Amino acid sequence: MKQPSSKTFILIHGSWHSSWNWHKVIPILENLGHKAFAIDLPGMGRDKTPISEVKMETTVRSICNLIDSIEGKVILVGHSKNGIMISQAAEYRPEKIEKLVYLAAYLIPNGKTQADYSAQDVTGVLKPYVTRYPELNAHTLQTEIYKEGLYHDCDESITELAKLLLSHEPVESGITPLQLTEENYGSVPRFYIECTEDKAVTPFIQQKMYTETPCEKVYRIPASHSPFFSRPNELCDIFCEIAAN
């Protein structure tokens, strides 16, 4: 495969997770001559924002601040729920984002919410294992579903790490309608990577989303919800192909 010139990737983690998702991916991309940044979104990982105070708008602004700090354009990758974050960031910074990459991610149209589409995904295995904390405006995932729901094709060490690292997830962003326009968000090329063995965001809902909101190209990888752990080289091959387009 032809290697593209150096690109800058920003890698956005999904629900309950943080920047550690990308610890296998970043060195692969860097060894191929690219730059890669992974951040802890507000209230997640090492970011100490109280989870009860986390809002979608401030989370998107944190992504935009990183984009603004980087010279030139970026390729913005979003995993799982936080596909919504890269979409909204593209509305605010279309001139700075070269491409959007949705990795088993929520690709939601203007005026809709992530929760609208999650509710349609009736065969996913996670929902019965979500513990809600209304007083914190947050929820968390019970550890007994980690392996089956998120990491069934990953090393056991990943599940054990997750038991130590996963945290609460803010609720507000999932019920906040996206505010997108064709002029801004619609001007940024979109690519989708479907995880065909996903039990968290199932292939059914992935296919529904990228059919309703078409992308430049859809890639498929035979993986769980976490190919950055189980198939990092194959995932980076796809990232590089997208970068070269």
pLDDT tens, per residue, the chain with 245 residues: 444 589 999 999 999 999 999 999 999 999 999 999 999 999 999 999 999 999 999 999 999 999 999 999 999 999 999 999 999 999 999 999 999 999 999 999 999 999 999 999 999 999 999 999 999 999 999 999 999 999 999 999 999 999 999 999 999 999 999 999 999 999 999 999 999 999 999 999 999 999 999 999 999 999 999 999 999 999 999 999 999 98
Q: Check residue 5 and give its pLDDT.
A: 82
In terms of CATH, what superfamily is 8-244? Alpha/Beta hydrolase fold, catalytic domain (3.40.50.1820)
Determine the Cα–Cα distance for residues 44 and 237; give it in Å rounded to an integer. 28
Amino acid making up residue 201: V
Determine the Cα–Cα distance for residues 200 and 226; give it in Å rounded to an integer. 10
Q: What's phi and psi for 100, nearest 5 deg? A: -110, 135
DSSP 107-152: ---TT--HHHHHTT-TT-SSGGGEEEEGGGTEEEE-GGGHHHHH-T
Q: Give the HSE-up count for residue 157: Cα atoms under 13 Å, Cβ half-sphere.
A: 2
